[in-house]
């Protein structure tokens, strides 16, 4: 499983480089980090087109849940979304490169803007989600007998446990730091919507790794974290496995798709208004 561990380490290092560079005062360094993020999105899209050449999309794992039928379409939608995201990121980088200002680097939030800690934790989670969700969608259609299937599961659990820790730090930090006020240009309805979308995203962030670990534990499947055995928390239980699977594989992913679409639409609207 060395390959999966090496790839997990590479992805973590890639994420950390982007997150660190986004905290630099100089706009050119931040622009370079954003270009790297865009290239990362395009690399996942390239991986997707590489998959369409393989037989897996035509002969996927036997379907277990109704949502398994939609996965090939879901993969196409994720590829379209990632391409659009890469385009927006390149535009943001171009603008920053040409007319970006130096930012004031400060650890904590103010009423109007996020501090370095909140920003770093946000981007760490966002980048890892962008990697983990499409690879997990693909992972769950790989037939049992394909040799690299296990590698995807090891990669998924490594990054899943890292995400679990980063999310816990983020939730603790959120209690300690002050909240950033909604943008003054938003009307009352929009402020309520933004607030609810943020709550949903926090719920999704927390519940994804917890239900994943719960599902593996209840199914009696051992998990590894960079080669070290992670203990199973209770004895196998079929009903619990089904409940955790229902949440990890259906409810939470679809809540994420809805919340993230609204979140990105909000961010795009804000960007276009700023550009005007």
Considering only residues 121 to 160 of the shown chain, the ones binding ligand HEM according to CB under 6 A are: 122, 125-126, 129-130, 132-133, 136-137, 140, 156-157, 160
> Residue 96 has which token pair?
């920053």
Q: DSSP 3-state assignment of 228?
A: strand
Beta carbon nearer to ligand HEM, 9 or 267: 267
Q: Please report whether residue 40 would count as binding ligand HEM according to CB under 6 A.
A: no
Mask: binding to ligand HEM, 256-275, rule CB under 6 A, as x and -? ----x--xx-xx--x-----
Beta carbon nearer to ligand HEM, 20 or 61: 61
> Residue 129 has which token pair?
């989600």
- Least distance from ligand HEM to the Cβ atom of residue 99, Å: 19
In angstroms, what CA-CA distances link 258 with 198, 215, 261, 265? 12, 23, 5, 11
What's CA 5's distance to the chain center, in Å? 19
From CA 33, how far away is CA 214, in angstroms rounded?
A: 35
> If residue 190 lies in a helix (H) or strand (E), which one and from where to where?
helix 188-218
Considering only residues 161 to 220 of the shown chain, the ones binding ligand HEM according to CB under 6 A are: 161, 163-164, 174, 180, 194, 198, 201-202, 204-205, 208-209, 212-213, 215-216
From CA 19, how far away is CA 32, in angstroms rounded?
A: 11
- Least distance from ligand HEM to the Cβ atom of residue 141, Å: 8
Contact assessment for residue 120 and residue 23, using Cβ atoms and an 8 Å cutoff = yes
- For ligand HEM (CB under 6 A), the number of binding residues is 40
Q: Please report whether residue 86 would count as binding ligand HEM according to CB under 6 A.
A: no
- Least distance from ligand HEM to the Cβ atom of residue 124, Å: 10
Mask: binding to ligand HEM, 66-85, rule CB under 6 A, as x and -? --------------------
The Cβ of residue 241 has, within 10 Å, a number of other Cβ atoms equal to: 18
């Amino acid at each position: 499983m060395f390959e999966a561990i090496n790839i997990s380490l590479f992805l973590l290092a890639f994420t950390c480089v982007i997150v660190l560079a986004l905290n630099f005062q100089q706009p050119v360094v931040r622009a370079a980090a954003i270009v790297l993020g865009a290239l990362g999105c395009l690399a996942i899209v390239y991986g997707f087109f590489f998959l369409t050449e393989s037989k897996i999309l035509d002969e996927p794992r036997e379907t277990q849940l109704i949502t398994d039928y939609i996965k090939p379409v879901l993969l196409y939608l994720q590829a379209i979304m990632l391409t659009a995201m890469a385009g927006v990121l390149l535009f943001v980088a171009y603008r920053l490169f040409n007319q970006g200002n130096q930012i004031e680097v400060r650890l904590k939030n103010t009423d109007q803007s996020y501090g370095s800690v909140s920003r770093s934790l946000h981007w760490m989670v966002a980048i890892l989600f962008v990697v983990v969700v499409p690879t997990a969608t693909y992972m769950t259609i790989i037939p049992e007998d394909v040799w690299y299937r296990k590698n995807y599961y090891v990669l998924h659990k490594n990054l899943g446990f890292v995400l679990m820790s980063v999310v816990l730090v983020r939730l603790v930090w959120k209690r300690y730091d002050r909240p950033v006020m909604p943008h003054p240009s938003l009307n009352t309805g929009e402020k309520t919507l933004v607030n609810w979308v943020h709550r949903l995203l926090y719920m999704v962030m927390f519940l994804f790794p917890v239900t994943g670990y719960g599902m593996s534990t209840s199914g009696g499947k051992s998990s590894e974290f960079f080669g070290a055995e992670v203990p199973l928390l209770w004895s196998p239980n079929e009903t619990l496995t089904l409940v955790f699977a229902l949440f990890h594989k259906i409810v939470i992913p679809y809540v994420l798709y809805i919340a993230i679409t609204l979140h990105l639409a909000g961010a795009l609207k804000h960007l276009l208004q700023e550009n005007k």
